[in-house]
A and B are shown apart, each in its own frame.
Chain A
Amino acid sequence: MASRAEEPFRLLFRRHTPALLRLGQRLLGGDAAAAEDAVQEVWIRAATRLPDFRFESKLRTWLCGFVVNRCREVLRSRGAMAPVAALPAEPAAVSGDAARALDLERAVRGLADGYRMVFVLHDLMGFTHREIAVRLDIEEGTSKSQLFLARRALRRRLAGSPVREDHHAR
């Protein structure tokens, strides 16, 4: 029976958790508390299966797969009644790239679950449509059309955003 030492686990945890939390928050529409719960569950699943990890893929990619699965479960359990996560308080002053990043994050959070999932995986995480299709158990064409619609929705949202390049405190 293999033993499982705590200290190396903590090193793995510290290396990968910040990225897993960010992915979880994005997939769950900005719900930080739900993302924490999801990532905790991910580590439990990963710890159960890490001895089987064969280095056939990057560990980060392997862990991200658990995050995607867990977040899908959470979204499914919420169903159509899912509340939109509260957006963070407006910072006192935001400008330039920071303002654009905030706008984009907000716009992504506002996407429908299916659009958001495909957009995050494809445009932010670099998954291919084939990988997304396998991961989400959908057709590759569905992934492409979801991405098309997600980008269009984002562009429309951002076009109406009050934050501009010359944005100052409001």
Chain B
Amino acid sequence: MPDEDELTEAERHAIGALPAESRMPPGFEDRVVASLRAQGLIEATRPAGLAYRRSVLRLGLAAGVFGSGLGTGLLAARYAGSVPQPGAGPLYLLLLYPGPRFAEGSAADEAARVAEYGAWAGRLQRAGQLVGAEKLKDGARLLEGDATVASEPGPQGFFLIRARNAEEAETIARDCPHLRHGGRIGVQAVDPT
């Protein structure tokens, strides 16, 4: 006879096996979007061309980078912010590595980390300095000639930003919460030639 205060293992299994999602009804997304548009709550994406659209999609695909919060943070910033086009200036690549002191963090830390990354990405977004972001899969294979000479952890992801100069790019990188969590960031200018 089970203790009615607690679930049995079989009950936990049964509950865990229940589907977490429902299939979206056909046309539901368009209906909701149309309703939001009619109320002035969203605006049709400006016809900024394929590059912008790809950028938005990549930001969406970056969900889960460095914890599940950053991707959502980027998306939410895109939605709620001023959605500026990336401004002018040289491009810099910020490569994010785990680093020797990098801590994945517990689930309890996640909300705080979401806030940090979200605020940081949002500031770049609003300043028109965030050009792109991608999550990278674990492991980089170093090739030389016909051989694989090494496998290494490699970077976890990257941000492509615009800054006035190398000093500003480094200032932006130093402000990234990744450093505070023990990670390392490589800052490298994109050679425009």
Chain A residues within 8 Å of B, Cβ to Cβ: 2-15, 17-19, 21-22, 25, 32, 35-36, 39-40, 43-44, 47-48, 50-51, 53-59, 97, 100-101, 104-105, 123-124, 148, 151-152, 155
Contact = CB atoms under 8 A, between A and B. Distances in A.
**Tier of interface size on chain B:** 35 or more
A12 to B, nearest CB: 6
B1 to A, nearest CB: 10
Contacts of A40: 28, 31-32, 35
A11 B60 contact: yes
Contacts of B50: none
Contacts of A14: 24, 29
B20 A19 contact: yes
Interface stretch (B80-88, B90-98, B162-170, B180-188): B80-88
Interface of B: 2, 4-5, 7, 14-15, 17-25, 28-29, 31-33, 35-37, 39, 41-46, 53, 56-57, 59-60, 63, 68-69, 72-73, 75-76, 78-83, 110-111, 114-115, 118-119
Contacts of B15: 104, 123-124
Contacts of B46: 5
A12 B68 CA distance: 13
Residue from A39, A55, A58, A155 whose CB has the most chain B CB atoms within 10 Å:
A55
A59 B73 CA distance: 9
A15 B134 CA distance: 18
8 contacts: A4-B79, A6-B42, A10-B33, A14-B29, A18-B24, A40-B32, A43-B32, A55-B111
